[in-house]
Structure 1
């Protein structure tokens, strides 16, 4: 896929939010519509439904609900090189019955060098990074190339 320097490549972004964080995820997506609207969004079932309700103009692909296989579906996208980053609003105060699935998903992101944000602050840093939109699944450049992006930017 070719693109001009002004138009960053289209990325596939995985979105997940625990029940206590779904509303915050919807607000975050709406607040970042300009950035996220250019990319393909994939979300676990209930998160996708909430995001579509709060952001009706967005095209969001919904998977199964997390506890019913949605986390594994996102993991499969990571393993197959089809997910470029993961934004997962975790509720650290609420125990999750499918905690092993959550850990497996985050582990896959780590193993495959997929940027993963587990809260709003980190998600904000991710999407405002000069590397956002440049990195593609399976093409994470060596550290010296990543650091060159920062060394050459104006502060």
Structure 2
């Protein structure tokens, strides 16, 4: 499965801790992330991460393109709802794309944990089945 990892500045530490806690599950998948988040995840966990641009510089849109082209299976986006984001329209578009294309999305640690445990159990395998039917 292809997993996108995104975090606003004040949530990056939380995402790093989360990835470390669930590394045995997450490391079995292909990881994608926006710029700084991807760099930190790679450096602090030792995992291989495909890095897009920073979110405000188009990284959110690059991940959105993957979603729209059925190349992303799960998005973990640790958002900071208390800080204004200059690229909020891109953030909203990314969330909307997840809804349009039925890509599971977590915007906080609680929901991320449910999705990752579901990933471990095989609860998200329907994404692969759906792709096979479309081919």
TM-score, length-scaled by structure 2: 0.90
Tell me by how many angstroms 1:17 deviates: 0.2
> 2:67 aligned with 1:78, yes or no?
yes
Q: C-alpha separation between the residues in 2 aligned to 1:138 and 1:111?
A: 18
1:1-155 superposed matches below 5 A: 11-56=1-46, 58-129=47-118, 130-136=121-127, 139=130
The total of aligned residue pairs comes to: 129
SS in 2 for 1:101: helix
Tell me by how many angstroms 1:119 deviates: 0.3
Tell me by how many angstroms 1:133 deviates: 4.5
Q: C-alpha separation between the residues in 2 aligned to 1:87 and 1:138?
A: 21
Q: Which has the higher helix share?
A: 2
Cα RMSD after superposing both structures: 1.5
Q: C-alpha separation between the residues in 1 aligned to 2:5 and 2:126?
A: 17
Deviation string 1:4-27 (CA, Å, 9 cap, x unpaired) is: xxxxxxx00011000000111011
Deviation string 1:51-110 (CA, Å, 9 cap, x unpaired) is: 112112x11110000000100000000000000010000011111010000000000000
Q: C-alpha separation between the residues in 2 aligned to 1:13 and 1:62?
A: 12
Equivalent pair of 1:49/1:62 in contact (CA under 8 Å): yes
Equivalent pair of 1:87/1:123 in contact (CA under 8 Å): yes
- Report which of the two structures shows the higher radius of gyration computed on alpha carbons: 1
- 4+ aligned runs moved over 3 Å, structure 1: 130-133
